[in-house]
Amino acid sequence: MASAPLPLAPSAIAFGTDGWRGILGVDITVERLLPVAAAAAAELAYAAPEGLASREVVIGYDRRFLAPELAEAICSAVRGVNLTPLLATSATPTPAASWAVVERGALGALVITASHNPPEWLGLKIKGPFGGSVEGDFTQRVETRLAAGGISVPSPGELQRFDALGSYVNGLRSRLDPAPLAAGLQQLGLTVIVDPMHGSAAGVLPALLGPEAIASGAIQEIRANRDPLFGGNPPEPLAPYLGELISAVQASTAAGRPAMGIVFDGDGDRIAAIDERGRFCSTQLLMPLFIDHLARARGLPGTVIKTVSGSDLMRRVAEDLGRPVVEKAVGFKYIAAEMLAGEVLVGGEESGGVGFGMHLPERDAPFAALLLIEALVEGGVPLGERLDALQRAHGGAASYDRLDLRLADMAARRRLEEQLAQAPPEQVAGEPVLEVIRTDGVKLRLGPSHWLMLRFSGTEPLLRLYCEAPSAERVAEVLAWARRYALED
């Protein structure tokens, strides 16, 4: 997949929904990164909760070009504001940094990563003392510090390293015993094929399930080597980038041993799956399974948090099990805020981020993978069969897809925004609009498990079109209609 042309000049330093990201060597350079890291670390210390006396800041990084070297470099920036950087000994999933913050009682974490973005990108994520991403008001204060031009001099010193990956794996074991899961997979005759997309979650699930599961064929891993080019595609868990995993799953099933694929994004905070037939399963399908398993089988307490772009199946499963549902705008930060404020069973977004009230107020894909395996072992059938049964029990099957549409320019975007605000469509692809929902963008409800959502990017002339409908054919029809509607001048 071709990448967009690289910009000729760096963009202003501004934080997005989860950190600061840009093109390596253009936006992200060591000269620009050092003051950002210093400002972020200083703000972590300034905003520390009362009673938190720690001076430690965890430093993590992914497997991208120069990520280890830049992680070492920002240690000097953290020391320059009189704090103590603790550097991971190896590339680790971003949730491993979150785990380390909570386990050690640290001020927070700075993680050098660009998550699921294309290979030429890099960035910085900031985690607070609670183990999740800091909120927008925090990053605004970091930007204010940068604009004020405060002087902090990077301070050289001996690197203090710690085994963040080992601590994280042990931490997941303390949350959920993997031994019965490995035995359950062998009893089912089910193979789990893990695809970390060359990213920093490589090796985590095999380490958790253990050598016997590997020797028995219960778990395999592909694309586990470090490749900063990620095979030429963004390390994002989307079907077009998963041909090797889909083929491996189908080949195993055809050979007589049903398989399931589990895929992680580049920094291990997003998850998707491939069922035994080779069907791509985003969190639109996995979230209902998590809800069913945690509420029905485990009997855990808490509310279900979904984004407005999430499948109706999430709500139907939750409400059929007597669980309240809260619907938020798109973005995991809104889910995390609910997790910090009250008792949450599970919260998730359509793009692969899932968090659990029993764990961290943060997306954690390897932990989600353990719970997914636990749900299949409990149910005793492969993933596709389990999902089909879940849909039949809660209102029938539905399909989902998303289309990102680039508009001509910002003027075209403003015209469309005004049109949607003043006179949204009364019909969509021949169906009357029953309800207009404005939680985030414009969501047009057409019926049960049938809706179209139009949502603009924060700063670009980019329109995201989301659709759920009773069939894949109907989804395609609605998205085609929406594309024509959006491009009309």
Q: Using alpha carbons, select from 468, 474, 478, 475 the residue that is nearest to residue 315.
A: 468
7: confidence class by pLDDT, cuts 50, 70, 90: low
Burial of 248 (0-12, 13-18, 19+ CB in 10 A): buried
11: confidence class by pLDDT, cuts 50, 70, 90: confident
Distance from C-alpha of 216 to C-alpha of 185, rounded to nearest angstrom: 10
In the chain, CATH 3.30.310.50 covers: 399-487
Q: What is the pTM of this model?
A: 0.94
pLDDT value at residue 8: 56
- In the chain, the percentage of residues whose pLDDT exceeds 70 is 98
Q: Which residue has the tokens 């799953």?
A: 249
C-alpha angle 346-351-356 in degrees, rounded to nearest 5: 15
Q: Tokens standing for 313?
A: 């199946």
Q: Class assignment of domain 20-169?
A: alpha beta
pLDDT value at residue 143: 95
Q: Is the model's pLDDT at 194 over the cut of 60?
A: yes
The radius of gyration of the chain from alpha carbons, rounded to an integer in Å, stands at 22
Distance from C-alpha of 92 to C-alpha of 202, rounded to nearest angstrom: 9
pLDDT value at residue 489: 58
In the chain, CATH 3.40.120.10 covers: 20-169, 176-393
Question: DSSP secondary-structure letter at 29?
Answer: -
Residue-wise pLDDT for 198-227, tens only, equals 999 999 999 999 999 999 999 999 999 999
Residue-wise pLDDT for 239-258, tens only, equals 999 999 999 999 999 999 99
Q: Tokens standing for 217?
A: 């064929």
Least confident of 6-15, 75-84, 205-214, 408-417: 6-15
Mean pLDDT of 393-410: 92
pLDDT value at residue 1: 43
- In the chain, the percentage of residues whose pLDDT exceeds 90 is 90
H/E stretch holding 188: helix 179-188
Mean pLDDT of 38-61: 97
Q: Tokens standing for 438?
A: 């404005």
Distance from C-alpha of 270 to C-alpha of 324, rounded to nearest angstrom: 24
Distance from C-alpha of 386 to C-alpha of 187, rounded to nearest angstrom: 17
Q: Which CATH number fits domain 399-487: 3.20.20.70, 3.60.110.10, 3.30.310.50, 3.40.50.170?
A: 3.30.310.50
Q: Using alpha carbons, select from 379, 150, 358, 356 the residue that is nearest to residue 269.
A: 356
Residue type, position 388, single letter: D
Cα 196 to chain centroid distance, Å, stands at: 13
Mean pLDDT of 182-187: 95
460: confidence class by pLDDT, cuts 50, 70, 90: confident
Distance from C-alpha of 156 to C-alpha of 73, rounded to nearest angstrom: 9
125: confidence class by pLDDT, cuts 50, 70, 90: very high
Q: Tokens standing for 327?
A: 């619907």
Domain covering 176-393 in this structure, CATH number: 3.40.120.10
Mean pLDDT of 342-365: 95
Which residue stretches of 321-438 are H helix? 332-341, 365-379, 383-393, 410-422
Q: Is the model's pLDDT at 370 over the cut of 90?
A: yes
Packed helices 283-292 and 312-320: angle between N→C axes, nearest 10 degrees? 10
Q: Tokens standing for 207?
A: 């380490």
Residue-wise pLDDT for 373-397, tens only, equals 999 999 999 999 999 999 999 988 8
10: confidence class by pLDDT, cuts 50, 70, 90: confident
pLDDT value at residue 108: 98
pLDDT value at residue 49: 95
Rounded to the nearest integer, the mean pLDDT of the chain is 94
Question: DSSP secondary-structure letter at 397?
Answer: -
Say if residues 133 and 18 touch (Cβ distance below 8 Å): yes
pLDDT value at residue 2: 45
Say if residues 328 and 310 touch (Cβ distance below 8 Å): no
354-356 and 344-348 strand pairing: antiparallel
Interacting residues of 83 by C-beta distance below 8 A, sequence separation 6+: 41, 42, 44, 45, 55, 56, 57, 107
Mean pLDDT of 38-65: 97
Least confident of 32-36, 95-99, 397-401: 397-401
Say if residues 281 and 246 touch (Cβ distance below 8 Å): no
Q: Is the model's pLDDT at 116 over the cut of 80?
A: yes
